[in-house]
Amino acid sequence: MVPHLVTALTGPINELEQRILDSMPAIERWFRLEWMEHTPPFYTSVDIRNAGFKLAPVDTNLYPGGWNNLTPEMLPLAVQAAQAAIEKICPEAKNLLIIPENHTRNTFYLANVLQLQRIFHMAGLNVRLGSINPEIKDVTTIDLPNGESITLEPVVRSKHRVGLKDFDPCTILLNNDLSAGA
């Protein structure tokens, strides 16, 4: 199953786009073979610009946002990809701690983190969100514009471990570039 991308353009498909669509099985096979030989980053996104006659990658994000923009049809693919990554990296993983950016006021970013939490939960992990934001001193629930809420918990550091109160993760997913410091 390959996602169907939605575009704001309603005109005829450009020749380049049609060639890409026609070559999709070969492209997907190439990616599959390359990823067997070279381990890609655990998760990342690449911004691509379409000039009508060429496509170009313009930016790679190691801490991608936008998970909340996945269509319901793409969610099973994201869960499947998460399961494949977990199986390859740490098949015995059980408890996952996600450490997001300190954007507690950016509800769009938090909706993105909530969707990421949902994806890994559906992939079979116990997932909690830990914050290294010094303003988060207690369990904090933040309401999102779509009616959902997200719960952030302060990260607890012990001798050689990072976790949450009463939650010992075996895996930590850092969704934070630490540009504000460690």
DSSP 69-135: G--TTTHHHHHHHHHHHHHHH-TT--EEEEEE-S-TT-HHHHHHHHHHHHHHHHTT-EEEEEE--TT
Contact between residue 150 and residue 110 where contact means Cβ atoms under 8 Å apart:
yes
Residues 86 and 112 in one domain: yes
Residues 144 and 162 in one domain: yes
HSE-CB of 7 using CA atoms within 13 angstroms: 11
Q: What does the pLDDT read at residue 21?
A: 87
Total count of domains within the chain: 2
Helix, strand, or coil (residue 8): coil
| 166, part of any domain | yes
Name the amino acid, one letter, at 81. Answer: A
Rounded to 5°, angle at Cα 23 from 17 and 28: 110
| 3, part of any domain | no
Quick: pLDDT tens for 65-121. 888 888 889 899 899 989 988 888 889 999 999 999 887 788 999 999 999 999 999
Residue 42 tokens, joined: 């655990």
Residue 133 and residue 101: Cα distance in Å, rounded? 8
Domain that holds residue 108: 67-175
- Per the prediction, the chain carries an average pLDDT of 86
